[in-house]
C-alpha cells in the first residue's frame, strides 16, 4: 500500500466512542479514518431520547445526536469508509486492517466496534424479523401505532425502549425471566407509573407465532412450568448485548465474555492498538463513558505516535 494511503489512526467503529476518538485525533493533526459497517452513530441510533448526557438540558433524539457527532468529525477532516472488518495484522510499526472492501494501513488502531443485541433463539424469531420482531423501538415503533406489543427484558434498554413505545402503541407488556427488574430505579419507577405498561414475571418466550406478521407468543412460567399463548402485534427484544469481536479473536487479549482487555489509558495487549466503548472490558455501556473512552484512546494514540 502506498505511503499516501497510510493513516496515523484507523478507528474501527463509528459509534460515540469512535467518533469522539476521531475528533480528538484529527484535531491533533493525525490523518484519521473511521471504518463503520452500517451507519455512523452506533447504539445511540437506537435510543429514542438521550436525557442524561451533559450539555443537553432538554432531551435530544439519539439519531439527532449521532448526526451532530458525524458532522463535527467531518468538519475537522475525518475520513469515513463503510466496510466490514474481517481480520487484523498488528505486528510491526504499521498495522493492517483488512475488510471485505479493502485493506487499510495505519500507525495506530482504535477498536470501537461496539456490540449488538442478543437474540432469543426461539422458533419464529428469525422468520418474523422485520415483520413484527424488532431490536429497535425507535426504528420500528411507528409501525405499531395503536397496537399491543411485547418487550422482552428487564434492564435499562428494555425499560427505555418500552417507555418510548407507550407513546404510540395501545399497550406494552414486559416479559421478564425474574420477578424484579434490573433497570435503574428511575426507569423502573417511570415504567411502573405508566398505565400502558404491564408486566409478566418469571417467564420466557418459547415461540413467536403468526401468519404474514406476528400474531402471538408462547410463554412459559419458569416457576410453575405453565405454558400459555398471548396475543401480540410485535415483539421487541432487549435481553443483553455482546461485543462485536470476530475479527480480533486470537489477536488481542479478551475477557471471558469477549470484551477487549485494556488498561486505564485504553492500551490493549498490543502496543499501538487501543480499545474504547462497549467493546472494552468493564465498560459501563453509557454514552458519556463511551465518549470518554474515545477521547482517552485518541490521546493515547497521539502519545504513541509522538514518542515513537
Active-site residue list: 136, 139-140
CB 161 within 8 A of CB 137: yes
In the three-class reduction of DSSP (H, G, I as helix; E, B as strand; rest coil), residue 16 is classed as helix
The rounded distance, in Å, linking the Cα atoms of 154 and 16 is: 24
Distance CA 41, CA 257 (A): 24
Confirm if 114 and 244 have CB atoms less than 8 A apart: yes
What is the bridge-based pairing of β-strands 85-89 and 79-82? unpaired
CA distances from 18 to 8, 11, 59, 183, 203 (A): 15, 6, 22, 26, 37
Which residue's C-alpha cell is 419458569?
Answer: 222
Cell triple for residue 5? 494511503
Helix (H, G, I), strand (E, B) or coil at 242: strand
d(CA 73, CA 52): 22
Amino acid at each position: 500500500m502506498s505511503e499516501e494511503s497510510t493513516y496515523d489512526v484507523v478507528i474501527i467503529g463509528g459509534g460515540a466512542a469512535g467518533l469522539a476518538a476521531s475528533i480528538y485525533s484529527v484535531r491533533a493533526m493525525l490523518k484519521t479514518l473511521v471504518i463503520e459497517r452500517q451507519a455512523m452513530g452506533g447504539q445511540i441510533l437506537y435510543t429514542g431520547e438521550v436525557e442524561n448526557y451533559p450539555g443537553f438540558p432538554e432531551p435530544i433524539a439519539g439519531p439527532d445526536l449521532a448526526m451532530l457527532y458525524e458532522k463535527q468529525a467531518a468538519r475537522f477532516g475525518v475520513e469515513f469508509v463503510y466496510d466490514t472488518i474481517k481480520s487484523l495484522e498488528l505486528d510491526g510499526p504499521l498495522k493492517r486492517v483488512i475488510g471485505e472492501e479493502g485493506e487499510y494501513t495505519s500507525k495506530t488502531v482504535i477498536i470501537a466496534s461496539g456490540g449488538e443485541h442478543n437474540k432469543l433463539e426461539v422458533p419464529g424469531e428469525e422468520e418474523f424479523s422485520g415483520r413484527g420482531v424488532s431490536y429497535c423501538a425507535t426504528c420500528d415503533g411507528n409501525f405499531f401505532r395503536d397496537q399491543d406489543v411485547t418487550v422482552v427484558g428487564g434492564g435499562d434498554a428494555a425499560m427505555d425502549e418500552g417507555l418510548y413505545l407507550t407513546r404510540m402503541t395501545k399497550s406494552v407488556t414486559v416479559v421478564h425471566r425474574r420477578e424484579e427488574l434490573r433497570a435503574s430505579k428511575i426507569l423502573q419507577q417511570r415504567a411502573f407509573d405508566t398505565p400502558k405498561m404491564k408486566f409478566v414475571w418469571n417467564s420466557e418466550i418459547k415461540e413467536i407465532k403468526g401468519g404474514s406478521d406476528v400474531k402471538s407468543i408462547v410463554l412459559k412460567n419458569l416457576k410453575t412450568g405453565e405454558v400459555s399463548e398471548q396475543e401480540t402485534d410485535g415483539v421487541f427484544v432487549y435481553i443483553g448485548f455482546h461485543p462485536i469481536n470476530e475479527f480480533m479473536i486470537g489477536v488481542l487479549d479478551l475477557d471471558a465474555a469477549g470484551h477487549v482487555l485494556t488498561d486505564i489509558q485504553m492500551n490493549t495487549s498490543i502496543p499501538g492498538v487501543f480499545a474504547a466503548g462497549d467493546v472494552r472490558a468493564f465498560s459501563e455501556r453509557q454514552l458519556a463513558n463511551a465518549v470518554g473512552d474515545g477521547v482517552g484512546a485518541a490521546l493515547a494514540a497521539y502519545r504513541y505516535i509522538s514518542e515513537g
